[in-house]
Amino acid sequence: MRRNPREIELTNRVTTRRALVVGGLMTGFMGLLGLRMRHLQVEEADQFRLLAEENRINIRLIPPARGEIFDRNGMVLARNAPSYRIVMVREDAGDIEEVIGRLSRMIEMDEEQVDRALAEMRRSPPFLPVTVAEQVGWDAVSIVAVNAPALPGVAPEVGLSRAYPRGSDFAHVLGYVGPVSDYDLSQMEEPDQLLRIPRFQIGKVGVEARLEDQLRGKAGTRRVEVNAAGRIMRELDRREGQPGADVQLTVDAALQGYVQARLGEESASAVVMDVETGDLLAIASSPSYDPNLFVRGISVADYRALTDNKYRPLASKSVQGTYPPGSTFKMITAMAALEEGLIGPDDTVFCPGHLEVSGRRFHCWKRAGHGRVNLETSLSESCDVYYYDLALKVGQDKIAEMAQRFGLGIRHDLPMSAVAAGLTPDRAWKRRVHGQDWLVGDTVNASIGQGFMLASPLQLAVMTARLATGRAVRPRLIKSVDGVETPSGAGEDMGLNPRNLRKMHDAMFAATNDRRGTAYGSRIIEDAYRMSGKTGTSQVRNITAAERATGVIRNEDLPWERRDHALYVSYAPAEAPRIAVSIVVEHGGGGSAAAAPIARDIVLQALYKGPPPLEAYPAKDRERIREQQERLQAVQPMANTEGSGRA
């Protein structure tokens, strides 16, 4: 059937409109597609190029060299030593148990470490090297190299590990490093990516931990090409990191070694302080331990031996140990009364051997009493009754305030672990902590450093330095970081009455140099180096009435842990003080017998910068001292065997 021309024209019009619409839509779609392709290929090209590059190029961190630690004279205390280890790649080894069996017959291997390595290999990619033996010697490296054909996948590697050449001398000061643990990471808000490198080491305690950020340094990077499985194909480039900062301490390694040797196996501590600058010249706790054991991974047996030792070798007694200061606190009670104008230096008190206070009898250490004493004789002979009487006049709040002015009851800012604040109690403290009112008997006990009073050897050294100088000397352990000197601890004038301070100096001099002084047996007879000081005996237990009635059980007849602590504080030379020393011998008995002789030896060693001449000692002591010097020199590490790391 033929269509008329009108129908054909209408159909053509409709078809044309549809073609135009479809063509327009297709053109628009192609245009959008072209714009999108342009956006992806031109404008976003850099981003996609980076994504593609990252699929085959990885950036790996390079651990920096840890900063080293030196003493005040440039002697190396902590260094980075080459450390050899044996690693294994699972995919190259084949039967890993068989290969490890062969290896264990060639070199000595720790069974526990091997078990950890096997577990690590099973959960790691097969191409990653896993350490199977650490801290091996050159002989083991040579054996592995020679037997390489029989040990597929096994290879020696060299890296850096921390080493402490002075061993136990600085364990409580430096601390040690160890692998990063999950606990370490949990204590950080934003852990450095370095810390996620397997077996990366950080400071755990002591200076190593407190100055971790400075000692660690900044990581370097290297770009490596990897295949689809993540295996490294080649290194493209490398940027070395920034090594950690070197740290110089104020401590003198030779003096520290002597102090540690002199303390021996006593449960004791000693602090030697430069009174002009606040520099800590020695800060020792005994017994000590070898920090190198922790770096290598201490065995269960070795660790148990340390924790089971009743003398607590892991504790840094010089800063974290707190003890009743005993009679070494009497200078504070006296200064509080003098500065308040409540007594004069020549005022006297009669000591019959006790003082009745609120129906309770407080005894003097000398049962028969000292008779009539003034400030100088009371301190020289350590009369307790004199200070009981002073305390009742001045009150505990003033005593506590004076104690804090002299550095007691304050946590001094040192980069060591667990630095203790001690305790200088007052009325408000007892009400807040114990919910009880302060009693007059508490004041009497506190006046001679007993009761609630607690102080660390560090605080006692600070107290003594401030007594010697009249300045608020602050302890300083870090001399410089990367050559930049830290602020001096010389301190400002304390504003004390010079006459009162002079009287205190006279009394401390008499305590050591007067024939009736409690430390006379440990005096120095070299005029230029005579020392001033004060003994202290800190009671660990209360003496019962029954014990007093029978003459009191002798201290040496008690079990060790129930004996009194022995203390001694001193400064020297008496006329021009240069150093202050504090000694605490745990459960050592009397300060005059156990602590003062140690202090005298340390003072002379520090002032002479080496073994002093025997003429500095009283004639009766010289033969014993000569034998002691020979014995101590034999056990001390040679100060010059380790080369200095800096001028």
Q: Which one of the listed residues 327, 538, 570, 592 is annotated catalytic?
A: 327
Mean pLDDT, rounded, for 293-312? 90
- Residue 582 bears catalytic tag: no
> Average pLDDT, whole number, for the chain?
87
* Domains defined along the chain, listed by start: 82-158 (3.30.1390)
**Contact present, 581 and 462 (Cβ < 8 Å):** no
Residue 424 has a pLDDT of: 96
Residue 645 has a pLDDT of: 46
- The confidence band for 584, taking pLDDT boundaries of 50, 70 and 90, is very high
120-130 burial, b if ≥16 CB within 10 A, otherwise e? ebeeeeeebbb
List C-alpha distances in Å: 496 to 343, 377, 576. Answer: 15, 22, 18
**Contact present, 531 and 603 (Cβ < 8 Å):** yes
- Residues 89, 90, 91, 95, CA torsion sign: positive
Residue (of 170, 173, 160, 182) closest to 244 by Cα position: 160
Residue (of 290, 6, 9, 51) closest to 171 by Cα position: 290
- The confidence band for 10, taking pLDDT boundaries of 50, 70 and 90, is low
Residue 644 has a pLDDT of: 45
- DSSP, res 323: B
Highest mean pLDDT: which of 77-91, 269-283, 354-368? 269-283
pLDDT digits (tens, 9 = 90+) for 374-388: 999 999 999 999 999
Residue 550 has a pLDDT of: 61
pLDDT digits (tens, 9 = 90+) for 128-139: 677 788 778 888
Residue 450 has a pLDDT of: 95
Residue 228 has a pLDDT of: 55
157 vs 471, residue with greater confidence: 471
Phi, psi angle pair for 568, to nearest 5°:
-155, 135
Tell me: pLDDT of 371 over 90. yes
Q: What is the DSSP string of 127-186?
A: TSEEEEEEEE-HHHHHHHHHTGGGSTTEEEEEEEEEE-TTGGGGHHHH-EEEE--HHHHH
User: Which residues make Cβ contacts (< 8 Å) with residue 245, sequence separation at least 6?
Assistant: 67, 214, 215, 217, 481, 482
Distance CA 385, CA 352 (A): 8
Phi, psi angle pair for 507, to nearest 5°:
-70, -40
Q: Which residue has the tokens 């770009």?
A: 223
Residue (of 641, 607, 612, 639) closest to 628 by Cα position: 612
Residue (of 645, 583, 642) closest to 167 by Cα position: 642
pLDDT digits (tens, 9 = 90+) for 228-261: 555 556 767 777 778 999 999 999 999 999 999 9
Tell me: pLDDT of 51 over 60. no
389 vs 183, residue with greater confidence: 389
Q: What is the DSSP string of 582-600?
A: EEEETT---IIIIIHHHHH
Residue (of 522, 533, 512) closest to 579 by Cα position: 533
Residue 31 has a pLDDT of: 76
**Contact present, 215 and 175 (Cβ < 8 Å):** no
What six digits make up the tokens of 643? 């080369």
pLDDT digits (tens, 9 = 90+) for 528-557: 999 999 999 988 776 665 665 666 567 777
Residue 641 has a pLDDT of: 42
Coil, helix or strand for 502?
helix
